[in-house]
Amino acid sequence: MQKEEAIIIGAGPCGLAAAIELQRIGLNPLTIEKRNIVYSISQYPTYMQFFSTPDRLEIGDIPFTTASEKPSRLEALHYYRVAAQRHQIRVQAYETIKSIEREDDGFVVKGENRFGEPRSYFARYVIIATGYFDNPNVLGIPGEELDKVSHFFRESHPYVGMHVAIIGGSNSAIDAALELERVGAKVTVIYRGESYSSSIKPWVRPGFEKKVSQGLIQMRFSYTVTAIGNNDITIQGPEGVELIPNDFVLALTGFHPDRNFLTQTGVTMEAEGYPTFNETTMETNVPGIYLAGVVASRHEANEIFIESGRYHGNKIADHIMSKRD
């Protein structure tokens, strides 16, 4: 069994930031990632731009310079890759952690690589920085299992000329609608809210509202999708039940933490469904197990959370240092 002082599960921006902070107190943590470094960002829409300015996404005292005011997905991938390399973070990619069990003065961490071969570690501290991206909020309606339904949007080209329904009213939904309209898709945005979300990027909303007023994008407030068929969807709202033509559905309804994995480690869940942790130290109700990044965001699970989640490593390092003292 491989012995480590600390293991970080997840090599997203906040997991990498935590690794750097642990290095600064003399630890050399092993970061285990079930896919590639900053996987969630690699899955963002191809031409996405962040809401945040680059300085608010920096980690490890490495400047994040960009060609424009808002960094792109490609620039972010390059930045975090370089940050990991410069700080010589030990990243073990394509390995999935299956369980964390208390043993003596630490934890036995078990997983497997992409070939199904078992891996086993012992660590005194475990930092869970797994994010939400693998756990979309499902609709729980008939037809959601169809191939035409996706909880992710990458790029608009595959949808040229298609009837596309977007479920949700967040930034991701608005950005997707604009990209799709530009390539000639027939877009309907279905949002259960009564008006536009206050979180929409202020420089994006006017252009989106103009497209709606021109009839180029259909916006259906206070509506929900109740069923998905091969060639149509059923929606329900203030004007009753409607059947509208549809080729593809993008259910951009957000994400949630892997509750089963967390509860199996002994981490309790609050009434709202979010894990229990101390906001000052980031330690969970299980001493020695910490949270970092979007898994500790409680309500908002998007790229903006990197701004504050990158500092979780500072809190964790300070707490571990106090224990060692």
In the chain, the percentage of residues whose pLDDT exceeds 90 is 76
Evaluate if residue 307 carries a pLDDT over 60.
yes
Using CA atoms, how far apart are residues 304 and 249, in angstroms rounded to an integer? 25
Q: Could you tell me how far CA 64 lies from the centroid of its own chain?
A: 21
Please indicate, yes or no, if residue 72 is contained in any of the structural domains: yes
> How many domains, the chain?
2
pLDDT (mean) for 207-214: 96
230 with 159, same domain?
A: yes
- What is residue 13's three-state secondary structure? helix
Structure tokens belonging to residue 176? 């997707």
194 with 311, same domain?
A: no
186 with 86, same domain?
A: no
94 with 155, same domain?
A: no
Picking from 251, 273, 297, the residue at the C-terminal end of a domain is: 251
- Report the pLDDT value the prediction gives residue 134, as an integer from 0 to 100: 74
262 with 241, same domain?
A: no
Using CA atoms, how far apart are residues 322 and 325, in angstroms rounded to an integer? 5
pLDDT (mean) for 239-249: 96
Q: How many CB atoms lie within 10 A of CB 295?
A: 30
pLDDT digits (tens, 9 = 90+) for 250-279: 999 887 777 788 899 999 988 777 889 999
Give the lowest-confidence range in 22-31, 218-227, 292-301.
292-301
Please indicate, yes or no, if residue 141 is contained in any of the structural domains: no
Picking from 251, 284, 301, the residue at the C-terminal end of a domain is: 251
Evaluate if residue 191 carries a pLDDT over 90.
yes
Picking from 209, 232, 251, the residue at the C-terminal end of a domain is: 251
10 with 102, same domain?
A: yes
* Sign of the dihedral through C-alpha 176, 179, 182, 183: negative
pLDDT (mean) for 193-219: 93
Please indicate, yes or no, if residue 87 is contained in any of the structural domains: yes
Evaluate if residue 163 carries a pLDDT over 70.
yes
Please indicate, yes or no, if residue 311 is contained in any of the structural domains: yes
* Sign of the dihedral through C-alpha 236, 241, 245, 247: positive
Average pLDDT, the chain: 92
171 with 243, same domain?
A: yes
101 with 195, same domain?
A: no
188 with 303, same domain?
A: no
- Report the pLDDT value the prediction gives residue 253, as an integer from 0 to 100: 87
- Report the pLDDT value the prediction gives residue 122, as an integer from 0 to 100: 97
In the chain, the percentage of residues whose pLDDT exceeds 70 is 98
- Report the pLDDT value the prediction gives residue 260, as an integer from 0 to 100: 84
- Report the pLDDT value the prediction gives residue 201, as an integer from 0 to 100: 83
pLDDT (mean) for 219-248: 97
Write the CATH number for 50.
3.50.50.60
Please indicate, yes or no, if residue 143 is contained in any of the structural domains: no
- Report the pLDDT value the prediction gives residue 304, as an integer from 0 to 100: 44
Evaluate if residue 152 carries a pLDDT over 50.
yes
80 with 162, same domain?
A: no
Q: Give the model's confidence band at 325: pLDDT under 50 very low, under 70 low, under 90 confident, else very high.
A: low
18 with 125, same domain?
A: yes
- Report the pLDDT value the prediction gives residue 295, as an integer from 0 to 100: 86
pLDDT (mean) for 305-309: 83
Evaluate if residue 144 carries a pLDDT over 90.
yes
293 with 204, same domain?
A: no
Q: Give the model's confidence band at 164: pLDDT under 50 very low, under 70 low, under 90 confident, else very high.
A: very high
Please indicate, yes or no, if residue 140 is contained in any of the structural domains: no
Please indicate, yes or no, if residue 144 is contained in any of the structural domains: no
Evaluate if residue 298 carries a pLDDT over 70.
no
Using CA atoms, how far apart are residues 152 and 223, in angstroms rounded to an integer? 21
Give the lowest-confidence range in 41-50, 96-105, 150-159, 171-180.
41-50
Which domain range does residue 169 map to?
149-251
Evaluate if residue 297 carries a pLDDT over 80.
no
- What is residue 50's three-state secondary structure? coil
